[in-house]
Amino acid sequence: MYNRPKIDIPKTTFEKAFDIITSVLFIGWIVYLIYIWGQLPAQVPAHFNGAGEVDRLGSKWELIILPLIAIIMTPFLAFLEKHPEWHNYMNLTEDNIEFQYKNSRMLLNVVKNESVLFLAYISVQSSQVALGNASSLGFGFLPTFIIILFGSMAFFIVRSVKNK
């Protein structure tokens, strides 16, 4: 791999807070699914089209897939957060290494937490559609998802390029 130094840079308050908020909401998501499980019909929305409308139904057991994805993805990305020396950089120098490591780690932190929150939203909204309390994810979900996720990535990439 690379011969980059491993530097101990403490997590920022933002990273810690975002991790805690996402963890609390993840637990709430699981508790919610357990609470409503008996009320769910056998078939629930399993896929949505680009307009946020249901285009496939599946077993209510498919609702477990999204929390499982979050459970697998989160520790993997958290592990990568702890190793910014493994990340890819355009211009890494002695003068900018600490900033670049922190910026790259924050990018992973934000993407990890946003992804979990979006998975939770999709799952909760799927159950709400199944229970008759909603009709879709909403037309604005996909553009919002794309803008937030890719906007976050662009923000950290631009910061990285500006601080060469």
Residues 63-83 pLDDT 10s: 999 999 999 999 999 999 999
Count CB neighbours of 110 within 10 A. 19
User: From its phi and psi, is residue 44 left (phi > 0), alpha (psi between -120 and 50) or beta?
Assistant: beta
pLDDT one-digit tens code per residue, 144-164: 999 999 999 999 999 999 987
Domain-wise residue ranges, the chain: 58-164
Q: What is the CA radius of gyration of the chain?
A: 19
Band (pLDDT 50/70/90 cuts) for residue 97 is very high
Q: For residue 142, what are its two tokens? A: 């996909």
The model's pTM is 0.91
Q: Which residue in the block uniquely carries the two structure tokens 């998501």?
A: 29
pLDDT value for 139: 87
What are the Cα distances from residue 23, in Å, to 29, 46, 54, 114? 10, 24, 28, 12
